[in-house]
Structure 1
Amino acid sequence: MLVNYLRLLLLPFSLVYAMAVTLRKKLYDWGIMRSVSFDLPVICVGNLAVGGSGKTPTTEYLVRLLSDYKIAILSRGYGRKTKGFIMADHNATAETIGDEPLQYYQKFKQVTVAVCEDRVAGVRQLQNNHDIIILDDAFQHRAIKAGFNILLFEFRKLGTLQFLLPAGNLRDVFSSRKRADVFLVTKSPVPLLHVAQQASVNELQPNADQPVLHSYLKYGDLIHLYRNERQTLESVKNFEIFLLTGIANPDPLIEELEKYAASIKHEKFPDHYAFKNDDLKQFKSAFMGSNKKDKIIITTEKDSKRLRATGFKDLLVDLPIYYLPIEVELFEEDKITFDELILNYVKSNRRNR
């Protein structure tokens, strides 16, 4: 509650930020600042808020949908300690390219993964050898003009009062949504009632050519951090769960785990947090100090990339530590619409069409 009051004190700074964002938006809209287009399909996955909307699993959905094409994913690489254009290879780590790009690289061997702060420069490096480029989190990067913009909105945040940075979590003004080609509402409840779907449309007020589609999260099996071991969530029913996260919004994950857990002890760190030895020693000490016989450590797939960093294995390797993968899935009718939109855009904009 104190944090919320402190954020309200920052509202004047949010007004200054809003003026700066709006001016920049107008300069691009008027053509005073130029956007660069490319002659191949460029799909942008973005949102208006800071983190937590489901960009990573949505990007992975696109990779699976477009598996017949040669794809490059271009990201800024948040959390990395490097600069400039870097293409992921077998030496890549979360420190060199960021945790999300590392996840893409390790999961999709047929896909090129690269990072670059300058998206225009990054696409220029990739365009000649690929059929499609997916821009991960580049909706605000107006220097590049994507051919197709997917804008994500988290279901539970719709209808709530949100402020621009630094008082809130919005990094762009709500009117910017009009640049998107499709609105994808993420982390929707299952089943999704028609009245809830209509509420999303009412809140987003789309143009006639902006479909509002809904998706939900699908959880996989738990995968051991170091060993080739899997187990279902059902197998840890009534376990004590020690949850370790460094993501923007762990709430949906907690809700899923509450279906199975006797208790959840959550150690929460900021998004893209660089774990330190002392953090993990304290966490391990809390785990070892529990008298519960049936207990397990669970983290996210994104966090697993940073937890596998050199130096942590000796601390964690003997523990029952697993990560929980997630996928995005769309409701049946929305899936048909979304897939057709993407596939038709790509087919219509291929260089060899």
Structure 2
Amino acid sequence: MQYLRFLLFPFTLVYIIITSSRNWLYDRKIKRSFRFSLPIINVGNLSMGGTGKTPHIELLIRMFKDDNKISTLSRGYGRKQYGFQLGNSKSSALTIGDEPMQFYHKFGNAIEVAVDVDRVHGVSEICLNRPEVDLVLLDDAYQHRAIQPGFNMLLTSYSDPFYDDFVLPMGNLRERRNGKNRADIIVVTKSPVLSPKEKKDIIQKIKPKASQKVFFSQIKYGEIKPLTKFNNFNEKDENIILVTGIAKPEPLLSQLEKSHKILKHFNFPDHYSFKEKDMGEIYNLLIKFADKSPKIVTTEKDAMRLLSNHLKEDSNDLPWFYQEIEVVIDEGKEFKDILKKYVQENSRDY
């Protein structure tokens, strides 16, 4: 591994020069950054993915939806349509992307779900088309310096923290570690239960500024819900074929192994577009293990893609289920108070 990093170092150095120069231009206001008159919370990371942005966005939606008219704004990765789009009853992962579709599937018309590669244009369109929106949640826009959110929430995973990582291509960081200085709060995600000393050690490695508060979040596994007409899933001792297309499926795999037997794990890349060939392999495995009555379990994000494409009819006669998850924040009251204060003090009516 060290030898490979040595070979990649020249490319990493070029990448660092490019990204650092770009950040320097924004920091010195040579490149223009746009700020809007309504509160905007950005949830992002320094790494390429796998920090749990989607469940943290959902946490914020649940926190604010009763008092604010929220719009999420995502890139819409993997969609087949371009430009600004608002989610509606006809939307699918093909039109707005899997993660935005998950927001719409879970919260419906209680929120607006928007997608646009250009975040500045996206917020402008939200303000124009949905003037009642008074809070925007930016999904994965930490490196989109052209827009200046009022509040930056930086995520880093417990198992792969940014302070132990390297910039691309030697590692998985999109920019240098000092990019964490733009954050208002930092959340260490997917944490186990930690002692005060363990938390203190991690915080010392993060080296937050005096103005930055570090929180820790844990995954809370919810129900395993039916995706098709099958609805009988036992809490224990099911035989499972696990299908994932996310960045880091290991926590889900470990969780399911506590109570069930994993017959096979189909581990696809993040945002993977399932193909008929894949469905055929899964079906053949069901036949092979027919005497064990296996169930197919996937993630909620992957379920959005399965519901959205031409494979829906093929999978409807198979026992598909998906695992719901939420996140819980340690010191949740302080976390909520900080965010609520920001939104209140930056609302148009304040």
Q: Is the 8 A contact 2:163 2:177 kept in 1?
A: no
Where 1:72 maps in the other structure, the secondary structure is strand
Q: Could you tell me which residue of structure 1 aligns to residue 72 of structure 2?
A: 73
Task: Please list the CA deviations of residues 117-150 of structure 1 after superposition, one character each: whole Å capped at 9, or x if unmatched.
Answer: 1111111111333110010000100000000000
Which of 144, 152, 174 is residue 177 of structure 2 equivalent to? Answer: 174
Report the Cα offset of residue 263 of structure 1. Answer: 3.2
Correspondence list, 1:47-196, <5 A: 47-67=45-65, 68-109=67-108, 110-127=110-127, 128-158=131-161, 161-189=164-192, 191-196=193-198
Correspondence list, 1:246-325, <5 A: 246-290=245-289, 292-325=291-324
Query: Cα gap change, 1:79/1:16 in structure 2, threshold over 3 Å: closer, same or farther?
Result: same
Work out whether 1:345 is the aligned partner of 2:337.
no
Paired amino acid for 1:225: L
C-alpha distance in 1 between matches for 2:141 and 2:232 = 34
- TM-score w.r.t. the length of structure 1 is 0.93
Task: Please list the CA deviations of residues 176-229 of structure 1 after superposition, one character each: whole Å capped at 9, or x if unmatched.
Answer: 10000000111010x221122112201110001100001100111111112383
Query: Cα gap change, 1:23/1:290 in structure 2, threshold over 3 Å: closer, same or farther?
Result: same
Identity %: 44
Query: Cα gap change, 1:7/1:91 in structure 2, threshold over 3 Å: closer, same or farther?
Result: farther
Query: Cα gap change, 1:172/1:5 in structure 2, threshold over 3 Å: closer, same or farther?
Result: same
Which stretches in structure 1 are left out of the alignment for 5+ residues? none
RMSD: 1.8
C-alpha distance in 2 between matches for 1:341 and 1:352 = 19
C-alpha distance in 1 between matches for 2:248 and 2:201 = 22
Where 1:263 maps in the other structure, the secondary structure is strand
Q: Structure 1 residue runs of 4+, over 6 Å off?
A: none
Q: Is the 8 A contact 2:101 2:304 kept in 1?
A: yes
C-alpha distance in 1 between matches for 2:164 and 2:181 = 19
Query: Cα gap change, 1:292/1:5 in structure 2, threshold over 3 Å: closer, same or farther?
Result: farther
Q: Could you tell me which residue of structure 1 aligns to residue 12 of structure 2?
A: 14
Report the Cα offset of residue 352 of structure 1. Answer: 1.0
Q: Could you tell me which residue of structure 1 aligns to residue 201 of structure 2?
A: 199
Task: Please list the CA deviations of residues 316-346 of structure 1 after superposition, one character each: whole Å capped at 9, or x if unmatched.
Answer: 2222210001001112xx2011100110001
Count how many residue pairs are aligned between Structure 1 and Structure 2.
Answer: 345
Report the Cα offset of residue 11 of structure 1. Answer: 3.0
Which stretches in structure 2 are left out of the alignment for 5+ residues? none
